[in-house]
């Protein structure tokens, strides 16, 4: 091999070096799981690390199920789940760190202000297909849902659909953002996203007469709410305990509120 | 002294040849690894639930262990066929104009521009589709706009450069004597194109269409953005549709266990379709080589 070729190969190798992960110190805390919780966990970790410089906190996504599995196998100290634990997951220790409302959203120009949860269920099951049955215009309803495996879809399935399937013809998008984008541009569409992500581009429907807001969730009249859980295998380790205590403290919960979630207290 | 130097050079030569051989085969071995990996991950779940339930099932509800891929298989076929309906006439027309009805100067400007189309990232096509085409379809024809029609149009545009550049090459490869002979017999230029050039360049044109088809089957990002991704066999051109590639990309991030394996199974089916297309493309283009 010519020296020149050897040099360029070496340069190539060096160029890729930064991509490799540098092993993290043993003290570090790793969280993994729900991508709905991930942005909030990032915020907590950021503030926490400022206060507690010695301890690093790693936040990874992967989805609720993957996070729970990672926690079980010991790959991370804290798993994040945006759905209730089920079956053999129940032997893990769970801590509710925040709650998130689920908003059913429509285009702002849609004259329909609210609906019964049972009607929403019929819409997503594909049985109720025209806005006129809800007092709206005589136009077909464009139903937008999330992809299979998403925590938000899982929560909607559990809270609204029960055993009924979301019908096959529903438009499927892979993030809260794209669902909101489609609803914001299609006057006859309906979809669901995390309550904290509702903005002026879309309007949340009143469900069973209750507007989608914190007050009604607290009062129990707005039913579409899911817990954000931290799960640990057995009692949390000292570092995990410290982080969880911070998350549950007034300061941690204030962060939650600022980002559009519902604090637990 | 001289002999030693020569033997050293020979040794170097052998080394370089060996190094190149290793590099060349690494590309092939990557293909092998991918193939083995996809089949190893995807086939067990297919056999567990039966090939028939995968290929003929209409329900895709992985959380309930319903893995019917028929809507996606049909969806891929619809969208690809739609892309060809849009892309082939425009592509061939453009190729004919460039080779037969335009000056060398025009050709030298237009052809690189057409090839530039191939360099636009697919996410940009998708974005333009979402911003311009989808609202247009929704307001003009009704429905959600995210549809078979939107996906067909965008993919039709995306396969244009493939069809145009290969067709141009094969039309230019037709010997000038054919053209001259036809004109000498009193045929018009259009008659020459239709009755002499097309038959002579047929295998190249067919290969260009098949390669375009491969691109349309494999396209993912643009399709996800504009097709609506409903896992149902579309009832009309204005209904949303999900392709095999979209199915994988859409759900890969959260999928675990059998859901994940079922996405690999989707990959297996896609792999078989693409391989079949490539085999046909190779067969037609080697036929072309024999002819010329």
- Minimum Cα–Cα distance from A148: chain B residue: B251
B/e letters for A172-185, b = 16+ CB within 10 Å, e = fewer, are bbbbbebbbbbbbb
Nearest to B256 among A35, A65, A147 (CB): A65
Say if residue B155's pLDDT is above 50: yes
Kindly report, residue by residue over A175-234, the tens digit of the pLDDT.
Answer: 888 999 999 999 999 999 988 889 999 999 999 999 998 889 888 899 899 889 999 998
Q: Sorting pLDDT into bands at 50, 70 and 90, what band is B287? A: low
Write the DSSP symbol of residue A25.
P
Asked if the ipTM is above 0.85, the reply is no
Indicate the pLDDT class of residue A78, thresholds 50, 70 and 90. Answer: very high
Please report the pLDDT score of residue B254 as a whole number: 76
Give contacts of B 63-82 with A, CB under 8 A.
63-64, 71
Encoding tokens for residue B92?
Answer: 């061939």
The predicted model gives A114-135 an average pLDDT of: 94
**What pLDDT band is residue A5 in, cutting at 50, 70 and 90?**
low
Classify strands A114-115 and A206-207 as parallel, antiparallel or unpaired.
parallel
List, for residues A44-60, the tens digit of each pLDDT value. Answer: 999 999 988 888 898 98
Answer yes or no: is pLDDT of B187 > 60: yes
Residue from the list B239, B250, B259 with its beta carbon closest to the beta carbon of A174: B250
Picking from B19, B26, B126, B144 by the largest number of A CB atoms within 10 A of its own CB, the best residue to mutate is B144
By CA distance, what is B146's nearest residue in A? A171
pLDDT class of A82 with cuts at 50, 70, 90: confident
pLDDT at B241: 96
- How much of chain A, in percent, has pLDDT values that exceed 90? 47
**Mean pLDDT to the nearest integer, B172-200:** 92
Best CA proximity match to A175, nearest among A213, A149, A212: A149
Q: Do A168 and B58 touch (CB under 8 A)?
A: yes
Tell me, what DSSP letter sits at residue B121? Answer: -
pTM: 0.81
Q: How confident is the model at residue A247 (pLDDT cuts 50, 70, 90)?
A: very high
């Amino acid at each position: 091999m010519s020296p020149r070729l050897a040099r360029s190969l070496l340069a190539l190798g060096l160029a890729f070096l930064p991509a490799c992960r540098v092993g993290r110190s043993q003290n570090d805390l790793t969280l993994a799981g729900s991508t709905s919780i991930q942005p909030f966990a990032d915020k907590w970790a950021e503030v926490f690390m400022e206060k507690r410089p010695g301890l690093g906190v790693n936040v990874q996504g992967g989805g609720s199920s993957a996070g729970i599995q990672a926690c079980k196998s010991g790959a991370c100290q804290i798993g994040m789940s945006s759905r209730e634990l089920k079956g053999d997951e129940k032997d893990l220790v769970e801590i509710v760190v925040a709650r998130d409302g689920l908003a059913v959203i429509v285009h702002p120009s849609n004259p329909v202000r609210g609906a019964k949860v049972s009607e929403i269920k019929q819409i997503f099951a594909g049985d109720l297909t025209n806005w006129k049955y809800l007092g709206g215009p005589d136009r077909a309803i464009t139903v937008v849902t999330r992809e299979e495996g998403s925590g938000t879809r899982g929560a909607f399935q559990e809270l609204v659909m029960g055993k009924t399937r979301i019908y096959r013809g529903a438009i499927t998008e892979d993030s809260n953002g794209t669902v909101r984008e489609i609803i914001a541009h299609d006057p006859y569409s309906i979809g669901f996203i995390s309550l904290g992500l509702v903005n002026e581009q879309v309007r949340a429907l009143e469900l069973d007469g209750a507007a989608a807001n914190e007050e009604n969730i607290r009062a129990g009249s707005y039913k579409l709410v899911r817990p954000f859980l931290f799960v640990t295998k057995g009692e949390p380790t000292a570092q995990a305990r410290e982080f969880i205590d911070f998350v549950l403290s007034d300061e941690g919960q204030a962060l939650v509120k600022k980002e559009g979630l519902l604090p637990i207290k | 002294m001289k002999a030693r130097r020569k033997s050293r050079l020979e040794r170097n030569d052998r080394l370089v040849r060996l190094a190149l051989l290793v590099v060349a085969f690494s590309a092939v071995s990557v293909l092998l690894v991918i193939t083995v990996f996809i089949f190893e991950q995807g086939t067990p779940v297919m056999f567990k639930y039966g090939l028939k339930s995968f290929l003929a099932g209409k329900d895709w509800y992985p959380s309930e262990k319903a893995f019917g891929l028929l809507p996606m298989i049909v969806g891929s076929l619809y969208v690809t066929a739609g892309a060809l309906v849009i892309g082939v006439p425009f592509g061939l027309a453009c190729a004919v104009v460039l080779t037969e009805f335009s000056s060398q100067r025009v050709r030298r400007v237009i052809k690189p521009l057409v090839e530039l189309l191939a360099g636009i990232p697919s996410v940009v096509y998708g974005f333009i589709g979402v911003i311009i085409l989808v609202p247009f379809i929704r307001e003009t024809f009704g429905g959600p706009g995210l549809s078979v029609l939107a996906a067909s149009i965008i993919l039709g545009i995306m396969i244009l450069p493939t069809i145009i550049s290969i067709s141009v090459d094969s039309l230019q490869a037709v010997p000038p004597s054919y053209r001259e002979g036809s004109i000498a017999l009193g045929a018009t230029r259009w008659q020459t194109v239709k009755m002499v050039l097309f038959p002579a360049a047929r295998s190249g044109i067919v290969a260009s269409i098949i390669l375009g088809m491969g691109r349309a089957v494999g396209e993912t990002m643009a399709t996800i953005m504009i097709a609506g991704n409903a896992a149902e066999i579309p009832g009309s051109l204005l209904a949303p549709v999900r392709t095999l590639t979209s199915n994988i990309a859409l759900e890969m991030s959260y999928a675990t266990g059998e859901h994940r394996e079922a996405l690999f199974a989707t990959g297996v089916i896609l792999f078989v379709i693409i391989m079949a297309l490539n085999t046909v493309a190779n067969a037609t283009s080697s036929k072309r080589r024999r002819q010329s």
